[in-house]
Homo-oligomer: A and B are copies of this chain.
């Protein structure tokens, strides 16, 4: 068997044969049932390790009546082990500063400090040990290998390098697989225009960033008379936003760059966060269960839903010693299918990626609405200008949904009001069909809504009830 233990021990010089689709063929393609037996062993080790080293888990599990000795099956795991949440972590860090009583290594072993990028309240700090850092690099290299990246590729990392984990994960994966890293790090004013000139000249083979930023970069390139296809990317991979698994957004990026588009990402807390990621042959997200054991669960009972059903992702680290997350509730909404995947891996997969949140969805006049579904519909309309805003307001006793949509076809716009009115009607009809309720649509000019360098903020809820609700809800940012 290829290296697979807890704590993980990887040879930092190992590289597969470049012609191999797999980094660890056996671990990736073994029968799921056999893998599950091995995952159970890992879970027994990880829970015993956490019980011994983390007062946080001892307390949480004693309250729930669980002890690691009781763990005999994956069913025991989902039935007996309680989920943990972002507020649990924040409270633990307030109670035992600075890394919380779920830090399982001495503080002097901490190698890197990162954290949530939320601007309100106390952020959560992530402590990564030296050996975890290397294990994360190995895991990401392995998954990026599955995307088709190889030594000799040049990876342009567009996302900012700060507390946010995304860019660091892509970087250390890139370094470990012996690709050339081009850590550009968007963020500062004027950087995107400079990115265009570097890309024209260097023609890296791959891009990493957010879908919003890739589309913004393409617009800036076009303003400079540069066709984004000329950058010559063979693939773009994404995290931070669900766009890359939404067919409309994915197709738009694919056409804009004439390149393969691959989604990835779980949560910053879960680094190695790439454990849900597309591959060279498989769209959506593949669940690399031998790195992070991922369950798609009923949002009330937190037990696994059958394949083919929707639920929320619950993650468990199998290769993390510093701050192992055991049954971390993501709040992300997805639908899972059984393997094997088109790439021949025997992992479960999420054919539509993550398409909403159990908490940022909103209910309006009894209908459950996921903003990403609106984005998907708009993105598939040829006249869509690339941005929109969703505004929920209360007029009298009635909640109203307003959608501002950019109109993108200059020719149509020049053709005058009739064409705009026609687009307006199309949008209203599509949204009514999707949502089951009537929304008030307004068409605005192309580029009149601001773009984001990072995660697009498209939903504005100015109902008083939402403002209260917002305080209770937790910042659930997908990594």
Contacts and interface: CB of A to CB of B under 8 A. Distances in A.
Interface of A: 97-98, 108, 110-115, 119, 122-123, 125, 130, 151-152, 154, 160-163, 168, 175, 178, 180-185, 187-188, 190-191, 194, 197-198, 201-202
Copies of this protein, total? 2
25 contacts: A98-B202, A108-B151, A111-B178, A111-B180, A111-B181, A113-B154, A113-B181, A113-B182, A114-B183, A115-B198, A119-B190, A122-B201, A123-B198, A125-B202, A130-B178, A160-B185, A161-B183, A162-B183, A162-B184, A162-B185, A162-B191, A163-B198, A168-B183, A185-B185, A187-B188
A383 to B, nearest CB: 33
A89 to B, nearest CB: 15
Contacts of A162: 161, 183-185, 187-188, 191
Contacts of A185: 160-162, 185
A178 B106 CA distance: 14
Contacts of A125: 202
Contacts of A194: 119, 123
Nearest to A453: B188
A26 to B, nearest CB: 28
A184 B163 contact: yes
A113 B202 contact: yes
A423 B19 CA distance: 73
A119 B188 CA distance: 13
A411 to B, nearest CB: 35
Given A188-B160, A188-B162, A183 B115 contact: no
A112 B172 CA distance: 11
A161 B186 CA distance: 9
Contacts of A154: 110, 113
Shortest beta-carbon contacts, A-B, top 8: A161-B161, A162-B185, A113-B182, A110-B180, A108-B152, A187-B188, A187-B187, A161-B185
A190 B111 CA distance: 26
A interface majority secondary structure: mixed
B183 A112 contact: yes
Nearest to A122: B201
A202 B183 CA distance: 27
A11 to B, nearest CB: 14
A255 B115 CA distance: 30
Nearest to A133: B175
Given A161-B183, A162-B183, A187-B187, 17 more contacts: A98-B201, A110-B180, A112-B175, A113-B180, A115-B198, A119-B194, A122-B197, A122-B201, A123-B197, A123-B198, A130-B178, A161-B161, A161-B162, A161-B185, A162-B185, A162-B187, A163-B198
A160 B187 contact: yes
Contacts of A98: 201-202
A198 to B, nearest CB: 7
A133 to B, nearest CB: 8
Contacts of A108: 151-152
A342 B458 CA distance: 59
Contacts of A151: 108
Contacts of A122: 197, 201
A397 B130 CA distance: 64
B201 A112 contact: no
Nearest to A179: B111
Contacts of A188: 160, 162, 187-188
A130 B174 CA distance: 12
Contacts of A123: 194, 197-198
Given A160-B187, A161-B161, A191-B162, A97 B181 contact: no
A112 B161 contact: no
